[in-house]
Amino acid sequence: MVLRTAFLIALLASAASAADWTEYRMGPFRVISDAGDRAARERLTQMEQTRHVLAGMLGKTDLPTVWPIVLVLFPNQKEYGPHALPQPFVPGGSSDLSAWTADTPQPLDWRREIVRRLIADNAGLLSGVTVTALEDLFSTIEVNATRVKLGAPPPAGALPPDRLRAWAKIQLLATNPEYAGRFRVYWSNLQQGNEESVAARNGFDLTLEELNRRADAYLRAGVFEASPVFGEALNPNRDFIEKRLPRSDVDDWLAELKAAGKTFPPASPRGLLAAGTAVSLEQAAKANPRWAEPHVRLAELETNNLVKVSRLKAAVALEPQNSAYWQALAEAQTAADQPIDAAKSWISAEHTARSEADRARIHQIRVDADLRRVEAELADKKRAADERAADLQRVKDAAAAEIHAAEARANREQGGLKSGAKPVPFAQIYGGETVNGTLIQVDCLNGPRRLTIQNAKSTVKVLVRGTDGLNPADFTCGVQKPARQVMVIHDSKPDAKLGTVGNVTTYELR
| Domains of the chain and CATH, by start | 19-230 (1.10.390), 302-415 (1.25.40.10), 426-509 (2.40.50.140)
Q: What is the secondary structure of 34-83 as a DSSP string? A: SS-HHHHHHHHHHHHHHHHHHHHHHT-S----SS-EEEEEESSHHHHGGG
Which of 323, 317, 319, 325 lies closest to 299 in space, CA to CA?
Answer: 325
145 — alpha (psi -120 to 50), left (phi > 0) or beta? left
Lowest mean pLDDT among 50-54, 237-241, 471-475, 485-489: 471-475
Whether pLDDT at 438 is above 60: yes
Give yes or no for a contact between 458 and 465, defined as CB atoms under 8 angstroms apart.
Answer: no
Residue 304: alpha-carbon gap to chain centroid: 17
SS percent in the chain: helix, strand, coil, step 5: 55, 15, 30
Q: Which of 331, 361, 358 is nearest to 343 (CA)?
A: 331
- Can you list the positions of beta strands (E) in 76-206? 90-91, 96-101, 142-144, 147-150
CA distance 302 to 315: 14
- Model confidence at 351: pLDDT above 80: yes
Residue 217 and residue 209: Cα distance in Å, rounded?
Answer: 12
Distances (CA, A) of 455 to 428, 435, 437, 508: 20, 9, 5, 16
What is the Cα Rg of the chain in Å?
A: 40
Taking residues 212-241, report their average pLDDT.
94
Please name the amino acid found at residue 482: P
Q: How far is CA 328 from CA 115, 285, 310, 342, 366, in A?
A: 25, 19, 12, 10, 12
Confidence of residue 13 (pLDDT cuts 50, 70, 90): very low
The pLDDT-based confidence of 35 (bands split at 50, 70, 90) is: very high
Bridge partners of 500?
495
Question: What is the mean pLDDT of the segment spanning 86-108?
Answer: 95
d(CA 92, CA 262) in angstroms, rounded, equals 9
**Averaged pLDDT for residues 337-353:** 91
Q: Give residue 229's pLDDT.
A: 93
HSE, CB side, 13 Å, CA atoms: give it for residue 467. 7
Query: Cα 123 to chain center, whole Å?
Result: 17
> What sign for the dihedral angle of Cα 205, 208, 213, 214?
positive
CB 104 within 8 Å of CB 80: no
| 416 in Cβ contact with 435 (< 8 Å) | no
- Return the minimum-mean-pLDDT range out of 180-184, 364-368, 443-447: 364-368
Q: Among 100-114, 242-256, 481-495, which stretch is predicted with the lowest mean pLDDT?
A: 481-495
Instruction: Write the pLDDT tens digit of every residue in 326-336.
Output: 999 999 999 99
By CB atoms closer than 10 A (0-12, 13-18, 19+), residue 24 is buried
| pLDDT at 429 > cutoff 90 | no
d(CA 429, CA 411): 10
pLDDT at 396 over 80: no
User: 6: which DSSP letter?
Assistant: H
Decide: helix, strand or coil at residue 452. strand
Choose from 17-21, 274-278, 319-323 the range with maximum mean pLDDT.
Answer: 274-278
> Measured between alpha carbons, how far is 367 from 265 in angstroms, rounded to an integer?
43
> Could you tell me the pLDDT band of residue 40, with boundaries at 50, 70 and 90?
very high
More confident residue, 175 or 423: 175
When pLDDT is averaged across residues 349-375 and rounded to a whole number, the result is 82
Burial state string for 254-291 with b = 16 or more CB within 10 A and e = fewer than 16? bebbebbbeebbeebbbbbbeeeeeebbebbbebbeeb
**Short-list 110, 108, 115, 113, CA closest to 99:** 110
